[in-house]
Amino acid sequence: MAVIAAPLTAYRRANQWLWRHGLWRILFVPIVLSVVLLLLALLSAFLGATWVSGQIETIPFVDWELNAYTRGILWTLIFGLMMALFIVSFRGLVMVAYGPFLDRALDRISEIQPDFVTPHSDIPTSFWHSLKRPLLIFLSTVPLALFLLVGGLLLGLIPILGAVLSFLVIVPLQILIGAFAFVDPYYDRSGLTLKQSVTRFCGAWRESLVFGVIGLLISLIPLIGWFLSPTYSALAGFALAETHATDA
């Protein structure tokens, strides 16, 4: 039960910090940026799918003309693929936007909750450093997430067994990759290297998986889920990582 209780408690604390103590004001800019990223992704996927589906009909040496029904299916498939690429990269990319604001959020958490175990290290808190670690994670995890996405599509070609393996292996790994970006800021501010952070994260992979599933469920809330999920997860990541620090 502790595997489920710890992530739930982390999100409950995040809810209190966000609304009761007004941390949404500190995170207002990245919240807006996450909405802008989503709108740009939808626009890019729409225009990209329209362009690619149009170009397919103009391939040299191929004499074909798609009817409206087939063209609609092709457009939907291309649009879905482009949105899938965005989804696997969104959680890492949005943390680049949140990075410069998390130090202020952590300071505020320490003020409103004195018993919160604040990371202590000599690492700089400059604007560049607050961007560097999330950017490094984004560049490291997105290729891995894309590899898993392709792997899942290939597994889907295997009847029944492929779908089962994809659900049991690919989906949890994708969730863990997305969750790591939200837990690492605490580890980073504790002075852990990226390798040490991954080791600490993997040591509590069950809690981290539940943490990622909760964030995923929040993102499914119509309209508001896409910016609520990273906002809650960024703060809940502090709370969950703090329990790992106190248990270490």
User: pLDDT (tens digit, 9 = 90+) per residue, 2-33?
Assistant: 789 999 999 999 999 999 999 999 999 988 98
Helix/strand/coil (H/E/C) assignment for every residue in 198-212 = HHHHHHCHHHHHHHH
Give the mean pLDDT of 59-78: 72
Q: What b/e string do you get for 83-105 counting C-beta neighbours within 10 Å, with b at 16 or more?
A: bbbbbbbbbbbbbbbbbbbbbeb
Whether the CB-CB separation of 13 and 236 falls below 8 Å is answered with yes
Q: What is the pLDDT of residues 182-239, one digit of tens each?
A: 999 898 888 888 899 999 998 889 999 999 999 999 988 887 888 889 999 999 999 9
Q: What is the SS3 assignment for 222?
A: coil
The pTM assigned to this predicted structure is 0.84
CA neighbours closer than 13 Å in the CB half-sphere of residue 2: 5
Residue 123 is predicted with a pLDDT of 60
